[in-house]
Amino acid sequence: MVSLIDVIITNKDSIGELATVMDLVYVDHKAQILQLNVKTTARKCKKIKSRQYSGKGLEEFKCLLNMESWQEVFQTSEVNSALQVFMDIFGYYFNIAFPYKLVNLNKTYNSKWITKGIKISSKRFFFLIQ
């Protein structure tokens, strides 16, 4: 006698040849397998330039600023020119410590209920049915 615990609901008129029952041998349950062709659209992986801030980068930035003599800033007599020299030096070291990198915008969602055991079992299961 075969009983069905899980129910599969679909809007397909007939799934007779797409659905199968498989004996898993290792356990006292059978698996219901339903193979459906699903149309998917290819998503382009969108990338942007972004800075990655870290403690290591911050320490490098502080070290670079500390090693700079700043003489060029002090030797510039006009205030706006001195500020521009300061900002150029500051920006140069900032770009070294925190460079732009290409980052994927597509997020991956981590389902916390999917345990390591479930992932291992599903890989083993799909290996068996192929």
pLDDT digits (tens, 9 = 90+) for 74-107: 999 999 999 999 999 999 999 999 999 998 876 5
Amino acid at 130: Q
Answer for the pair 103, 50: CB distance below 8 angstroms, yes or no. Answer: yes
Cα dist from 107 to 38, 57, 76, 126, whole Å: 22, 24, 48, 26
Q: What is the pLDDT of residue 91?
A: 95
Which residue ranges in the chain fall short of pLDDT 50?
Answer: 129-130
pTM above 0.85, yes or no: no
Q: What is the pLDDT of residue 93?
A: 96
Query: What does the DSSP 8-state code read for residue 43?
Result: P
